[in-house]
Structure formats: C-alpha cells, structure tokens
Structure 1
Amino acid sequence: MEGYDRRPDRDDTDVLGSRIGAQIVDTIVGIILSYLVLIPFGAVDSAVGGSGGIAFLGFLVAFVTFVGYFFLLEGLWDGQTVGKRLFGIKVVKEDGSACDIGSSLMRNLLRIIDGFFYYLIGFISMAISDKRQRVGDRLAGTVVVREQN
C-alpha cells in the first residue's frame, strides 16, 4: 500500500468537489451491485412461493454488499473506490500512511451519521474541520486527499 508521501495538510484535503463527484459515482456503483445481488434472491423467493423470507435475506445481503463496497475497496485498494479513482482522490490516515481495513470500516460505519439530511452532517463536519474531515474521518483518523502524481 502506498498511502501519501507526507503528513497531509489543509491544502491536500481541499477536494470537496471531487468528494461529491466520487460519492455520486460510488452510490450508483453500490446501487447497481446491490440490485445484482438482490435480483436472484427475489427470483428464488418468487419461485418457491413468495413467502418473502428469501427476499428479505436478499435485502440484508444487498445492504452488506453496498456497505462492503466502500470499506473493502478503501481498505484494500490504496484508499480508493471506483469513484475516488475516477476523481483522483483517496483516503489516507492523518499521518499519511495507507488506509487499512480497520480505519476504512470505522469511517464507513459512521457514514450513517454523516449521511443524515442528505449528507448535511458530513458537510458541516467538513466545514468546521481543519482537514475537512467528516465525523467518520475524525473517529477513524483518516483524511481524503488528492492522489499524488
């Protein structure tokens, strides 16, 4: 894992527009992946009589897929998701080291809080943070930075 070649400063984390673009792309990718997981469960549920139990299990697996997309890619793919890679940003620890699975899991579990009111909580948190960190980033000790060339 690469990480960042130094401790990121405020200028390195000035990536709000890229974060928004990456979030839109990643949400679309996550929804597509979730539907691809959900469709077979719905088909099986319908084929066995439609009790709803299998479809409910499908919803749970689809949710785990959606959440897992973010934390697994960030933790294993040098702090990037598909959207972050397209927009040239990545997640690193505050000291510049690579984001690991534990940090990625923490920041993404707290996405639920950051996402309240269409990510208003996340935006407010980034606005009052010196390194533009949302709640999940603060607790995980991570920042989002421009990818270095």
Structure 2
Amino acid sequence: MSVTPAPLRLRTPAFLVDQLVVLVAVCLPVVLSGVSFSALLTPGDTRTIVFLLLMAAAFLYHFLFEWQTGETIGKRLFGLTVVSDDGTALGFRGSFLRNALRLIDGLGYWSVAVAVILYRGDGKRIGDVVGRTIVVRR
C-alpha cells in the first residue's frame, strides 16, 4: 500500500499544539507546587530538572499516544496520524524508535527534522526512517 506523507504546513501547527500540551502538563504543576516562574527561566538546578522533566514527558506523551492511537492531541486536531511505512497501524517498536530519535531530530529547534524532511522529500525525519513510520492525513 502506498502512503502519502502529510505536508509540513499541517505537521508544524500539530507539533506546536503538542509542545504546548507537554509544556503545560509539566510546568503548571511545578509552578503550582511553589517554584517561581523566574526559577524556571534562570540557569541552575531547577531549570535543568524541569528541562529533563519536559524531555521525559515529551517522549512519553508522543510514544504512548502514537503507539496506542497513532495520534497525539495536535495530530488529531489537524487530521494527522502516524502509521507504519506500509500504511498499517503503528506498533510499539515503530513508536518507540520514532520518538527516541526526537533527541536528534529536535536539535537546533527542530531544524534537523525539517532539513531531513525537505532533503529526503518523502516526509520523513530521522525518527521516521529508523522507526519505519510516516505521518499521513487521516
């Protein structure tokens, strides 16, 4: 089965929604627990811990939602889903690999992912290539 990749013009706002979901899910409880907003922005232990929490939360959010449903909140809002290269439902392995490589794809404020997607021309970032996945329109 041939699959057509979703365009970046849809993937980008979906990604930004997902980033907002993760940011709120991590930072709101941290601030409500008494950590000052300035401590989140000032270099130091607090900012480092919150950054690591954000990275872990982003991985778990994308991995679990995509593995279970093929979609995150952002993808759902923009009519996108992640599938295996052959168009079948995304499995554990594909979702895990795709999302583990977010650390590389996300370098340079996601310029690595965008550059790879544009260079390859098939809608795949590094995580998609390794995980044998693709983002498509629902």
Same fold, TM exceeding 0.5? yes
TM-score bracket for this pair, using the shorter chain length: 0.7 to 0.9
Which runs of structure 2 are paired with 1:1-149 in the superposition (5 Å)? 7-9=1-3, 12-39=4-31, 60-77=52-69, 79-147=70-138
Task: Work out the CA distance in 2 between the residues paired with 1:31 and 1:19.
Answer: 18
Q: Which runs of 5 or more structure 2 residues have no equivalent in the other structure?
A: 36-44
Question: Aligned with 1:99: secondary structure?
Answer: coil
Within 2, Cα distance between the matches of 1:13 and 1:62?
28
Gaps of 5+ in 1: 1-6, 44-52
The alignment yields a C-alpha RMSD, in angstroms, of 2.5
The answer to whether the 8 Å contact 2:27/2:50 transfers is: no
Shift of 1:118: 1.5
Query: C-alpha separation between the residues in 2 aligned to 1:119 and 1:58?
Result: 20
TM-score norm. by structure 2 comes to: 0.80
Larger radius of gyration: 1
* More off after superposition, 84-93 vs 27-36: 27-36
Q: Contact 1:38/1:62 (CA < 8 Å) preserved in 2?
A: no
TM-score of the superposed pair, with normalisation by structure 1: 0.75
CA distance, structure 2, for counterparts of residue 25 and residue 65 of structure 1: 14
Count of residues in Structure 1 that have an aligned counterpart in Structure 2: 130
Q: Contact conserved, 1:8 with 1:145, CA < 8 A, in 2?
A: no
**Sequence identity (%):** 34
Deviations 1:75-121 (A, max 9, x none): 111x1000000000110000111112221111111111111112111
Once the two structures are TM-superposed, the CA of residue 130 in structure 1 deviates from its matched residue by 4.0
Change (3 A) 1:106 1:40: farther
**After TM superposition, which residue ranges in structure 1, 4 or more long, deviate above 6 angstroms?**
55-59
The structure where helix makes up a greater share of residues is 2
